[in-house]
């Protein structure tokens, strides 16, 4: 039986109200879960077909662009000199020049550069993972502010003309570079800080940048570093900040930072995917070593709820990097090695699986009943969000792509290693 209608899951989420359909103001869109209300999103393109404009990125970054009121905002790391890269290990590399960290604003209709503001600088010989960048955190745009987050190298608020309002540096020791995006909740900016030496989550006053609260992770993971983006959900127990980290996922009071509960998944670190909340279940993809697991958790309880609140778990075809997507009580994922999978939300039972080919890091999105999966080689496979696999189209941009696509009414934004494309 094929699913025709798709469910809008944003009724359970906070912090993204009064948005017009074409606005995509944070990582994974208005709900933070990859659900788009845009219409006529393209299903056919190539480097020479349906491209309205291109913007040549002066630097490097795997953050997604965001859009509001016909303005596109993005972050990038611009090398200050000739780039020289030396291997540090198989999982990291060192650069021998500094980088200028910039926030950029473009005209969404023409691709023209409106302004560029330096926010921070990465020192020479900083390390990062080959699949990471110094500008991996997706910014947030609100009615009057742009918030950017570069990990230890700078967190800042700008007005929409590019003027710095406040700027902060948060200290911890990153491993493989910095990652993870911030979120806005009421009057605070919240982000994870899971470094190799210290792991915590914190909130800044979004008007001033001053500390509002800071909470250490209560589970002492041996390898503390992770890169996930938190999600605020609303349940009958009130608002909860769901924040994945190494060895455990936590539920916090987003107003105070007080821990409500946690679920352990020992010896899993480098957590990347953003949580999803649907049907009363929080979905968490755990990280590296062995196979990643997909956990379905009933939010609630107090303290360690691992033995009481995990509804089900599975380790087949679970991604390390791309976030899940839920449509009509079905979970859609693509593993890093290119296996798309559809599961039942209620029990995790696999409905279908299909090898797409290629490797995947970008998170998928849903528009008008169709799911867009983007590979690291620039191949986008579009399928119906249904309980049978049905391919709609395959398109190739022929460049390296790790950033997630941003849908627009009648268009989309696709970021590659060197270029931002507007496709209509």
Lowest mean pLDDT, pick from 78-82, 330-334, 339-343, 372-376: 78-82
> pLDDT tens digits for 202-211?
999 999 999 9
Q: How far apart are CA 137 and CA 76, in angstroms?
A: 10
Q: Report the first-to-last Cα separation within the chain, whole angstroms.
A: 32
Mean pLDDT computed over 53-79? 96
- The average confidence (pLDDT) of the chain is 91
* 323/335 Cα distance (integer angstroms): 9
- Please say whether the dihedral angle defined by the alpha carbons of residues 339, 343, 349 and 352, taken in this order, is positive or negative: negative
What confidence score (pLDDT) does residue 7 get? 37
Select from 368, 406, 417, 404 the least CA-distant residue to 108: 406
CA distances from 8 to 41, 125, 329 (A): 17, 45, 11
274 versus 94: the higher-pLDDT residue is: 274
Q: How far apart are CA 283 and CA 325, in angstroms?
A: 10
Domains and CATH numbers, the chain: 1-7+28-56+327-424 (2.40.128.630)
pLDDT 10s digits, 322-358: 999 999 999 999 999 999 999 999 999 999 999 999 9
pLDDT band at 94 (very low <50, low <70, confident <90, very high): low
Annotate 188-224 with DSSP letters as a single string. Answer: EEEEEEE-SS-EEEEEEETTT--EEEEEE-SS--SS-
Q: What is the pLDDT of residue 86?
A: 61
pTM, to two decimals:
0.92
Indicate the range of 14-18, 65-69, 292-296, 363-367 predicted with least confidence. 14-18
pLDDT tens-place string over residues 138-183:
999 999 999 999 988 899 999 999 999 999 999 888 777 788 899 9
Torsion angle (degrees, nearest 10) of CA 130, 271, 196, 134: 40
Distances from the Cα of 63 to the Cα of 81, 139, 414, angstroms: 22, 8, 11
In the predicted structure, residue 236 carries a pLDDT above the cut 50: yes
Average pLDDT over every residue of 41-57: 97
């Amino acid at each position: 039986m094929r699913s025709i209608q798709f469910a809008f899951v944003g009724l359970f989420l906070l912090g993204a109200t009064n948005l017009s359909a074409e606005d995509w103001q944070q990582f994974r869109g208005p709900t933070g879960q990859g659900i788009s209300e845009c219409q006529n999103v393209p299903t056919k393109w190539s480097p020479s077909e349906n491209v309205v404009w291109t913007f040549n990125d002066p630097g490097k970054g795997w953050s997604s662009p965001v859009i509001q009121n016909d303005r596109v905002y993005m972050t990038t790391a611009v090398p200050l000199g000739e780039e020289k890269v030396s291997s540090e290990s198989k999982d990291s590399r060192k650069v021998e020049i500094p980088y200028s960290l910039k926030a950029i604003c473009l005209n969404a209709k023409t691709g023209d550069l409106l302004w560029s503001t330096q926010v921070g600088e990465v020192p020479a010989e900083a390390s990062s993972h080959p699949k990471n960048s110094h500008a991996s955190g997706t910014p947030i745009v609100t009615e009057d502010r742009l918030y950017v987050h570069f990990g230890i190298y700078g967190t800042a608020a700008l007005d929409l003309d590019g003027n710095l309002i406040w700027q902060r540096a948060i200290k911890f020791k990153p491993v493989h570079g910095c990652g993870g995006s911030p979120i806005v909740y009421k009057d605070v900016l919240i982000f994870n800080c899971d470094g190799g030496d210290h792991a915590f989550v914190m909130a800044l006053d979004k008007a001033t940048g001053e500390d509002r609260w800071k909470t250490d992770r209560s589970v002492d993971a041996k390898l503390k570093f992770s890169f996930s983006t938190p999600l605020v959900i609303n349940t009958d127990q009130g608002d909860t900040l769901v924040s994945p980290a190494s060895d455990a996922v936590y539920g916090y009071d987003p107003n105070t930072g007080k821990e409500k509960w946690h679920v352990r998944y020992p010896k899993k670190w480098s957590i990347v995917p953003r949580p999803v909340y649907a049907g009363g279940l929080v979905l968490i993809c755990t990280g590296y070593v062995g196979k990643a697991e997909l956990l379905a958790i009933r939010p609630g309880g107090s303290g360690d709820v691992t033995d009481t609140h995990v509804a089900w778990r599975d380790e087949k075809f679970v991604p390390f990097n791309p976030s899940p997507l839920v449509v009509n009580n079905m979970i859609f994922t693509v593993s890093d090695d290119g296996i798309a999978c559809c599961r039942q939300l209620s029990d995790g039972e696999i409905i279908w699986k299909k090898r797409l080919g290629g490797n995947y890091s970008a998170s998928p999105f849903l528009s008008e009943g169709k799911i867009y999966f983007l590979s690291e080689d620039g191949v986008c496979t579009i399928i119906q969000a249904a309980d049978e696999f049905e391919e709609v189209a395959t398109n190739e941009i022929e460049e390296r792509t790790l950033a997630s696509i941003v849908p627009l009414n009648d268009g989309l934004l696709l970021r590659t290693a060197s270029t931002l494309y507007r496709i209509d």
